[in-house]
Amino acid sequence: MSGQEQDITDNDVLAYADGQLDGDARDRVERHLTADPAATALVREWQRQNGLLEALYGPVARESVPERLQPQRLARLRKASDASSWRQLAAALALLALGTGSGWLAHGFLAGDRGMAEPLVAQAVEAHDLYSGDVLHPVEVKAEDSAHLQTWLSKRLDRKLSIPDLRSDGLNLVGGRLLPAAGGEPAALIMYEDDSGQHVSLYVVPTDDGGETALRYNNVDGLEAISWTDEDVHCALIGGLPRARLEAIAKAAYAQLI
Protein backbone atom coordinates (compact mmCIF):
# COMPACT_ATOMS: atom_id res chain seq x y z
CA MET A 1 0.00 0.00 0.00
CA SER A 2 2.77 2.39 0.85
CA GLY A 3 4.40 1.76 -2.52
CA GLN A 4 1.29 3.08 -4.22
CA GLU A 5 1.26 6.20 -2.08
CA GLN A 6 4.68 7.24 -3.22
CA ASP A 7 3.01 8.23 -6.47
CA ILE A 8 1.44 11.23 -4.71
CA THR A 9 2.60 14.44 -6.37
CA ASP A 10 2.50 18.10 -5.38
CA ASN A 11 -0.47 18.42 -7.73
CA ASP A 12 -2.36 15.73 -5.82
CA VAL A 13 -1.68 17.61 -2.58
CA LEU A 14 -2.85 20.83 -4.22
CA ALA A 15 -6.03 19.21 -5.54
CA TYR A 16 -6.69 17.71 -2.11
CA ALA A 17 -6.26 21.06 -0.37
CA ASP A 18 -8.64 22.63 -2.87
CA GLY A 19 -11.27 19.96 -2.18
CA GLN A 20 -11.11 18.72 -5.79
CA LEU A 21 -10.72 15.04 -4.98
CA ASP A 22 -13.20 12.48 -3.86
CA GLY A 23 -13.44 8.76 -3.26
CA ASP A 24 -10.27 6.75 -3.76
CA ALA A 25 -8.15 9.67 -4.88
CA ARG A 26 -8.91 11.55 -1.68
CA ASP A 27 -8.30 8.50 0.51
CA ARG A 28 -4.95 7.93 -1.14
CA VAL A 29 -3.78 11.47 -0.41
CA GLU A 30 -5.09 11.25 3.15
CA ARG A 31 -3.10 8.09 3.79
CA HIS A 32 -0.05 9.78 2.31
CA LEU A 33 -0.47 12.83 4.54
CA THR A 34 -0.37 10.80 7.75
CA ALA A 35 3.19 9.80 6.85
CA ASP A 36 4.39 13.09 5.40
CA PRO A 37 4.41 16.09 7.77
CA ALA A 38 5.80 18.44 5.12
CA ALA A 39 2.89 17.68 2.79
CA THR A 40 0.48 18.05 5.70
CA ALA A 41 1.91 21.47 6.47
CA LEU A 42 1.53 22.40 2.82
CA VAL A 43 -2.13 21.40 2.81
CA ARG A 44 -2.65 23.52 5.91
CA GLU A 45 -0.90 26.46 4.26
CA TRP A 46 -2.95 26.18 1.05
CA GLN A 47 -6.14 26.00 3.08
CA ARG A 48 -5.06 28.99 5.13
CA GLN A 49 -4.56 30.89 1.87
CA ASN A 50 -8.07 29.93 0.79
CA GLY A 51 -9.35 31.22 4.12
CA LEU A 52 -7.46 34.50 3.76
CA LEU A 53 -8.68 35.03 0.22
CA GLU A 54 -12.25 34.26 1.23
CA ALA A 55 -11.98 36.71 4.14
CA LEU A 56 -10.53 39.31 1.81
CA TYR A 57 -12.96 39.06 -1.11
CA GLY A 58 -15.95 37.09 0.16
CA PRO A 59 -17.71 40.14 1.66
CA VAL A 60 -17.99 41.78 -1.79
CA ALA A 61 -20.55 39.17 -2.84
CA ARG A 62 -22.67 39.99 0.21
CA GLU A 63 -22.89 43.71 -0.58
CA SER A 64 -26.17 44.79 -2.09
CA VAL A 65 -25.98 45.02 -5.86
CA PRO A 66 -26.16 48.57 -7.25
CA GLU A 67 -29.09 49.29 -9.51
CA ARG A 68 -26.89 49.81 -12.55
CA LEU A 69 -25.85 46.16 -12.37
CA GLN A 70 -29.33 44.67 -12.51
CA PRO A 71 -29.67 42.61 -15.68
CA GLN A 72 -33.42 43.21 -15.99
CA ARG A 73 -32.85 46.94 -15.97
CA LEU A 74 -30.00 46.70 -18.48
CA ALA A 75 -32.16 44.58 -20.79
CA ARG A 76 -35.00 47.15 -20.61
CA LEU A 77 -32.59 49.97 -21.44
CA ARG A 78 -31.26 48.04 -24.35
CA LYS A 79 -34.72 47.35 -25.70
CA ALA A 80 -35.53 51.04 -25.50
CA SER A 81 -32.39 52.02 -27.40
CA ASP A 82 -33.00 49.32 -30.02
CA ALA A 83 -36.48 50.66 -30.58
CA SER A 84 -35.15 54.15 -31.11
CA SER A 85 -32.56 52.99 -33.63
CA TRP A 86 -35.32 51.23 -35.54
CA ARG A 87 -37.22 54.51 -35.59
CA GLN A 88 -34.11 56.25 -36.95
CA LEU A 89 -33.73 53.56 -39.57
CA ALA A 90 -37.34 53.91 -40.61
CA ALA A 91 -36.87 57.68 -40.88
CA ALA A 92 -33.76 57.20 -42.99
CA LEU A 93 -35.59 54.81 -45.29
CA ALA A 94 -38.37 57.36 -45.68
CA LEU A 95 -35.75 59.95 -46.67
CA LEU A 96 -34.31 57.50 -49.16
CA ALA A 97 -37.71 57.13 -50.75
CA LEU A 98 -37.96 60.89 -51.25
CA GLY A 99 -35.45 60.93 -54.06
CA THR A 100 -31.84 60.58 -55.02
CA GLY A 101 -30.65 63.87 -53.50
CA SER A 102 -31.88 63.21 -50.03
CA GLY A 103 -31.35 59.53 -50.65
CA TRP A 104 -27.66 60.19 -50.88
CA LEU A 105 -27.73 61.91 -47.49
CA ALA A 106 -29.48 58.90 -46.10
CA HIS A 107 -26.84 56.67 -47.61
CA GLY A 108 -24.21 57.99 -45.25
CA PHE A 109 -26.54 57.43 -42.37
CA LEU A 110 -27.48 53.93 -43.35
CA ALA A 111 -23.91 52.95 -43.86
CA GLY A 112 -23.30 54.37 -40.40
CA ASP A 113 -20.00 55.82 -41.62
CA ARG A 114 -17.41 55.81 -38.91
CA GLY A 115 -14.51 56.51 -41.20
CA MET A 116 -13.12 53.04 -41.03
CA ALA A 117 -16.12 51.27 -42.51
CA GLU A 118 -15.60 51.93 -46.21
CA PRO A 119 -11.84 51.29 -46.47
CA LEU A 120 -12.34 48.21 -44.34
CA VAL A 121 -14.91 46.81 -46.75
CA ALA A 122 -12.78 47.72 -49.75
CA GLN A 123 -9.76 45.92 -48.28
CA ALA A 124 -11.87 42.93 -47.32
CA VAL A 125 -13.34 42.67 -50.81
CA GLU A 126 -9.87 42.93 -52.37
CA ALA A 127 -8.55 40.19 -50.12
CA HIS A 128 -11.60 38.03 -50.78
CA ASP A 129 -11.25 38.45 -54.54
CA LEU A 130 -7.56 37.71 -54.50
CA TYR A 131 -7.61 34.63 -52.32
CA SER A 132 -10.98 33.00 -52.88
CA GLY A 133 -10.04 32.64 -56.53
CA ASP A 134 -6.77 30.94 -55.71
CA VAL A 135 -7.36 27.27 -56.28
CA LEU A 136 -3.99 26.11 -55.00
CA HIS A 137 -3.38 28.29 -51.92
CA PRO A 138 -6.49 30.15 -50.82
CA VAL A 139 -5.23 30.03 -47.21
CA GLU A 140 -1.94 29.74 -45.37
CA VAL A 141 -3.19 27.57 -42.54
CA LYS A 142 -5.80 24.99 -43.37
CA ALA A 143 -8.88 23.99 -41.43
CA GLU A 144 -7.17 20.80 -40.24
CA ASP A 145 -4.93 23.01 -38.11
CA SER A 146 -7.72 25.18 -36.81
CA ALA A 147 -6.35 25.13 -33.24
CA HIS A 148 -3.05 26.44 -34.52
CA LEU A 149 -4.85 28.95 -36.73
CA GLN A 150 -6.70 30.28 -33.73
CA THR A 151 -3.62 30.74 -31.52
CA TRP A 152 -1.54 32.12 -34.37
CA LEU A 153 -4.07 34.73 -35.50
CA SER A 154 -4.85 35.68 -31.87
CA LYS A 155 -1.18 36.21 -31.25
CA ARG A 156 -0.48 38.21 -34.38
CA LEU A 157 -3.56 40.42 -33.97
CA ASP A 158 -3.05 40.62 -30.21
CA ARG A 159 -6.70 39.76 -29.70
CA LYS A 160 -8.33 36.71 -28.21
CA LEU A 161 -10.10 35.34 -31.26
CA SER A 162 -12.15 32.20 -31.69
CA ILE A 163 -12.51 30.88 -35.20
CA PRO A 164 -16.30 30.87 -35.68
CA ASP A 165 -17.87 27.50 -36.36
CA LEU A 166 -20.38 28.23 -39.12
CA ARG A 167 -21.33 24.68 -40.01
CA SER A 168 -24.90 25.17 -38.87
CA ASP A 169 -25.07 27.92 -41.51
CA GLY A 170 -23.84 25.50 -44.14
CA LEU A 171 -20.26 26.77 -44.23
CA ASN A 172 -17.14 24.69 -43.74
CA LEU A 173 -13.91 26.29 -42.65
CA VAL A 174 -11.25 26.38 -45.37
CA GLY A 175 -8.61 28.05 -43.21
CA GLY A 176 -7.06 31.43 -42.76
CA ARG A 177 -4.19 33.73 -43.43
CA LEU A 178 -2.49 36.85 -42.19
CA LEU A 179 -2.22 39.89 -44.41
CA PRO A 180 -1.37 43.57 -44.02
CA ALA A 181 -4.25 45.99 -43.57
CA ALA A 182 -4.13 49.50 -45.05
CA GLY A 183 -2.17 50.98 -42.15
CA GLY A 184 0.32 48.12 -42.21
CA GLU A 185 -1.13 46.49 -39.11
CA PRO A 186 -1.87 42.77 -39.34
CA ALA A 187 -5.29 41.66 -40.50
CA ALA A 188 -6.74 38.17 -40.55
CA LEU A 189 -8.69 36.55 -43.32
CA ILE A 190 -10.72 33.50 -42.36
CA MET A 191 -12.25 31.66 -45.27
CA TYR A 192 -15.27 29.38 -45.50
CA GLU A 193 -16.89 27.43 -48.28
CA ASP A 194 -20.39 26.07 -48.76
CA ASP A 195 -21.35 22.82 -50.48
CA SER A 196 -21.63 24.54 -53.83
CA GLY A 197 -18.08 25.87 -53.55
CA GLN A 198 -19.13 29.48 -52.78
CA HIS A 199 -16.53 31.22 -50.64
CA VAL A 200 -17.27 33.51 -47.74
CA SER A 201 -14.46 35.52 -46.12
CA LEU A 202 -14.34 36.99 -42.67
CA TYR A 203 -11.84 39.84 -42.53
CA VAL A 204 -10.70 41.05 -39.10
CA VAL A 205 -8.60 44.11 -38.24
CA PRO A 206 -7.69 45.10 -34.69
CA THR A 207 -8.54 48.58 -33.46
CA ASP A 208 -7.92 50.52 -30.30
CA ASP A 209 -11.04 52.70 -30.47
CA GLY A 210 -13.29 49.86 -29.43
CA GLY A 211 -17.00 50.30 -29.13
CA GLU A 212 -19.78 48.59 -30.97
CA THR A 213 -21.71 49.31 -34.07
CA ALA A 214 -24.73 47.82 -35.75
CA LEU A 215 -24.25 45.68 -38.82
CA ARG A 216 -23.58 47.78 -41.92
CA TYR A 217 -24.46 46.58 -45.40
CA ASN A 218 -22.73 47.22 -48.68
CA ASN A 219 -22.84 45.74 -52.12
CA VAL A 220 -19.54 45.89 -53.98
CA ASP A 221 -19.51 44.67 -57.58
CA GLY A 222 -22.11 42.04 -56.90
CA LEU A 223 -20.56 40.85 -53.64
CA GLU A 224 -22.48 41.37 -50.45
CA ALA A 225 -20.50 42.83 -47.54
CA ILE A 226 -21.56 43.13 -43.93
CA SER A 227 -19.28 44.97 -41.54
CA TRP A 228 -19.32 45.78 -37.86
CA THR A 229 -17.11 46.77 -34.95
CA ASP A 230 -17.09 44.68 -31.81
CA GLU A 231 -15.03 45.75 -28.78
CA ASP A 232 -11.58 45.99 -30.30
CA VAL A 233 -11.89 44.52 -33.77
CA HIS A 234 -13.36 45.74 -37.06
CA CYS A 235 -14.89 42.90 -39.05
CA ALA A 236 -16.20 42.48 -42.56
CA LEU A 237 -17.93 39.45 -43.96
CA ILE A 238 -17.80 39.12 -47.74
CA GLY A 239 -19.56 36.65 -49.97
CA GLY A 240 -21.58 36.18 -53.09
CA LEU A 241 -24.64 35.07 -51.16
CA PRO A 242 -28.08 36.58 -50.72
CA ARG A 243 -28.05 39.34 -48.12
CA ALA A 244 -30.43 37.56 -45.74
CA ARG A 245 -28.24 34.47 -45.67
CA LEU A 246 -25.07 36.50 -45.21
CA GLU A 247 -26.76 38.37 -42.39
CA ALA A 248 -27.50 35.15 -40.53
CA ILE A 249 -23.86 34.14 -41.01
CA ALA A 250 -22.66 37.56 -39.82
CA LYS A 251 -24.66 37.21 -36.61
CA ALA A 252 -23.24 33.78 -35.96
CA ALA A 253 -19.71 35.06 -36.62
CA TYR A 254 -20.28 38.11 -34.43
CA ALA A 255 -21.49 35.92 -31.59
CA GLN A 256 -18.48 33.63 -31.69
CA LEU A 257 -15.45 35.59 -32.86
CA ILE A 258 -14.51 37.39 -29.64
Partner 1 sequence: MGEILDEIADCVPALRRYARALTHNRDGADDLVQDCLERAIRKRSLWRPIGPIRPWLFRILLNLHRNELRHLRRNPTAAPLDEFTERLATPGSQFEHAALAETARAMERLPDEQREALLLVAVEGLDYRQAAEVLEIPVGTLMSRLGRARTALRQMTSENGRPVLKAIK
- Contacts to partner 1 by CB under 8 A: 10-11, 14-15, 18, 20, 38-39, 41-42, 45-46, 49-63, 65-66, 68-72, 74-75, 78, 158, 160, 208, 210, 212, 231-232, 251-252, 254-256, 258
CA distances from 28 to 42, 50, 95 (A): 16, 22, 76
Cβ closest to partner 1, residue 22 vs residue 195: 22
CA–CA separation, 204 and 164 (whole Å)? 12
Total residues found in the chain within this entry: 258
Q: Shortest distance, CB of residue 158 to partner 1, whole angstroms?
A: 7
Q: Shortest distance, CB of residue 46 to partner 1, whole angstroms?
A: 6
CA–CA separation, 79 and 253 (whole Å)? 22
Cβ closest to partner 1, residue 30 vs residue 134: 30
Cβ closest to partner 1, residue 77 vs residue 90: 77
CA–CA separation, 124 and 218 (whole Å)? 12
Q: Shortest distance, CB of residue 182 to partner 1, whole angstroms?
A: 20
Q: Shortest distance, CB of residue 72 to partner 1, whole angstroms?
A: 5
Cβ closest to partner 1, residue 56 vs residue 135: 56
How does DSSP assign 86-141, residue by residue? HHHHHHHHHHHHH-HHHHHHHHHHHHT--SSHHHHHHHHHHHHHHHHT-SS-S-SE
